[in-house]
Structure 1
Amino acid sequence: MSTLVTESPIPTKLTRPQSKQRLRVCHVSMTLRTGGLERLLVDFGRFHNRDQYELSFVSLGPVGQPAEDLQAAGFDVETLGMPKTSKGAALQKLKTLLRDGQFDVVHTHNTYPHFYATLAARWAGISTIINTQHGRGCGSGWKSHWQFRIANRLATRVVGVSADATKLCQSQNPASASRMQTIWNGIDLERFKFTGPRNEPTAISVARLSPEKDYATLLHAMQLVIQHEPRFRLLLVGDGSERARLEQLATELDIRQHIEFLGERKDVPDLLRKAGFFVSSSKTEGISLTLLEAMAVGLPIVTTRVGGNPEIVVEGETGKLAPAQKPEALAAAIREMLDEQPLWPTMADAARKRVEQHFNVRNMVSQYEDLYQTCVASK
């Protein structure tokens, strides 16, 4: 097993050619720290077909627990040390790493790694390059659009994690639209066993406490809900830059006693089982893993009608959708959910079945592996 490094030297094991009986795939991401994308990369390692594929992982920047998990499972993991390492030096080192590793496929994740790793892969003589966009499109700034279009001209296929994301990517780069497709994210159903909702007016939300999750809207909605149901409580799981501001807002709205700020936790499956339903107030989403995890446990969902959320939640069947950034509308959806408490078990069953049918991580990994085979064969 290689030693996880924190700077930019080229490792020896990662670049040593292995058996050509299996396709060698190198995943390249911005970081390997805690997050939904990084959890998916760990799942790629856990559930890939070991008889046909040999995986390695490269992070352009910082690493954390996901990198340690992958390394503990026997995978080679490398970080190029950006931003401390200059872009030019990182590009050169990545090219050397990909060339010496004799990779068949380079799989990049999101726009920044897509741009740099695609250039490095082409420079190294690798022709099969897959990119996955994990959010809504390639980003909002002109630089992201420029990088996306340049990289797409050299890449083999671009995958959106939702139909919404794919459609947006196609609009951002019409010239490459024909090489874009959708593969829904998935979760490990074995980790999230079905238990069903707890029969009490408690909701749970799991996410980074960051601006795009818009928890301020949820807190304002809670103030309105509590007037309708004084027993209503929220378990808020996660940490981030917005935590102090949200705690202050909860105090100002006089709802602090109704919220438990639980911070970042490793026992999310157990915490989900303590709630009656799941709630989210995000302004943007690709395919939310936390929604899928909650549905797998058997929680009805109240969330915003953004990104891939309507592809996950079936209105009236597995949950309720509300417009984003509208506290009154979100509060109305939460009140409806509370009033329909006798229907929660039925929603729970439907939620679990939907995840089993469409969002199983094993199926997701298998679809990517089929894509690898198709693209390599076409080259």
Structure 2
Amino acid sequence: MPRIALLHAQRDFATALAATAERLDPAYEIDVLSQPQSIPSRVGRVLTGRYDLLQADETVRNGLLGLLTKRVYGTPLVVCIRGWDDYTNAHGHHSWIGHQSIEHRTRLVVGHADCTLFVSRTCREAMRRYYAIGPNRVVDRPFDVARFQDATATDDPGTTILTVTNFRYPQKARGITTILEGLRAVFEATEDLRYVVAGDGQEFDTVADFVASYPHRDRVELLGHRDDVPQLLGGADLFVYVSYLDAFPMAVLEAQAAGLPVVCGATGGPAEAVGTAGRLCPPTPDGIEDAVSELLSDPCPDRSTDSSERMAEYNERAAHQYLDAWDDVLNR
């Protein structure tokens, strides 16, 4: 029975993957080593657990621990890259010294990994411009689909457009202002329309300042960080997403799991996330206006059905991708 340790910073990712993979292939025993377990506890379990394979979902801490274990015990190491922004300083947040440290550790981990997994083709190509990548695959990212499928629809008679995002980077904030620009004419044509944005981060005030001078500001709600995203999705009629720096936005998949029709700006990772179950459009105000106007004028129930059907077996398809990668590494 192969024993796998998931050294993941994102516990929800690891938990969903472990539960689904063990159900699909009971021959695997999968441990989730993540917060709230202390770092010494995780280190102790990795070094004494005698695992057959380790998987880390970042290179700076968990990846280094996996590499140390590989060096000491020869344990195969798989690294899952969930985004390229931190590894390439695409957002410009890291100091020169900080970026050099991250870059050096990432080169070590990725350079010695037995397989590197990427959550999107966009992410893989962005990383390839900075790092030498060995054996690799593109995989989906499992999540708690049922939590969003169980969202309860509200009886609000109005029309609600929702975006769930974060405001960590200017490229994310610019996505929201693009949507707002695209909704100007839609607001004028739809009297009961309101636009709700959930998310927080250091660029929040930038968007708040934009909304303060927006002509329809009384119909725009900036909620900040929210833990009740399934409920927000249940109260929405349409999900709209634009971002200019994103490897694979989970918010798009969560909206599809809730059965919402999705409009998504066609930029790299977001375009891959929406797949064929949403409406892709140019990531411009005109693109948003045309796509949203079309969906609001023709609210075809098939669009919600397409989203729900895509998510029905999403985790199973994703877990098979990881199982295939692990089998390949273990059988070399």
TM-score, with normalisation over the residues of structure 1?
0.72
Aligned-partner SS, 2:60: helix
2:327 equivalent in structure 1:
373
1:129 equivalent in structure 2:
77
How far residue 240 of structure 1 moved from its aligned partner, in angstroms, is 2.4
Aligned-partner SS, 2:73: coil
**Map 1:1-379 → 2, pairs under 5 A:** 21-29=1-9, 37-49=10-22, 51=26, 52-58=28-34, 67=36, 77-79=37-39, 98-113=46-61, 115-136=63-84, 139-141=87-89, 143=100, 144-174=102-132, 176-177=133-134, 179-193=135-149, 200-211=158-169, 212-214=171-173, 215-314=176-275, 318-323=278-283, 326-341=284-299, 343=300, 345-356=301-312, 360-378=314-332
Q: Deviations over 1:156-193 (max 9, x none)?
A: 0000112332343344445x34x011111233332232
Which residue type is aligned with residue 150 of structure 1?
A: L
Superposed CA RMSD: 3.1
Aligned-partner SS, 1:241: coil
Q: Which structure carries more relative contact order (alpha carbon 8 Å, separation 6+)?
A: 2
Distance 1:376 1:347 in 2: 41
Q: Deviations over 1:121-140 (max 9, x none)?
A: 23332331001111247732
Distance 1:226 1:308, change over 3 A: same
Are the aligned partners of 2:7 and 2:62 in contact in 1 as well (CA < 8 Å)?
Answer: no
Structure 1: gaps of 5 or more residues: 1-20, 30-36, 68-76, 81-92
Q: Deviations over 1:95-121 (max 9, x none)?
A: 665322322222111332365234322
Are the aligned partners of 1:28 and 1:113 in contact in 2 as well (CA < 8 Å)?
Answer: no
Distance 1:169 1:181 in 2: 13
Distance 1:150 1:28 in 2: 18
Structure 2: gaps of 5 or more residues: 90-98
Which residue type is aligned with residue 172 of structure 2?
A: K
Distance 1:218 1:99, change over 3 A: same
Aligned-partner SS, 1:112: coil
Q: Deviations over 1:196-226 (max 9, x none)?
A: 8987531111122332422233333334432
2:95 equivalent in structure 1:
none
1:17 equivalent in structure 2:
none
Distance 2:270 2:66 in 1: 30
Distance 1:366 1:377, change over 3 A: same
Aligned-partner SS, 2:123: helix
Are the aligned partners of 2:16 and 2:142 in contact in 1 as well (CA < 8 Å)?
Answer: no
Q: Deviations over 1:217-273 (max 9, x none)?
A: 333333443234343211222222233332332122143321223333333222212
Are the aligned partners of 2:260 and 2:307 in contact in 1 as well (CA < 8 Å)?
Answer: yes
Identical aligned residues as a percent: 19
The alignment of Structure 1 onto Structure 2 pairs a total of residues equal to 314
Aligned-partner SS, 1:49: helix
Are the aligned partners of 1:28 and 1:117 in contact in 2 as well (CA < 8 Å)?
Answer: no
Are the aligned partners of 1:103 and 1:126 in contact in 2 as well (CA < 8 Å)?
Answer: no
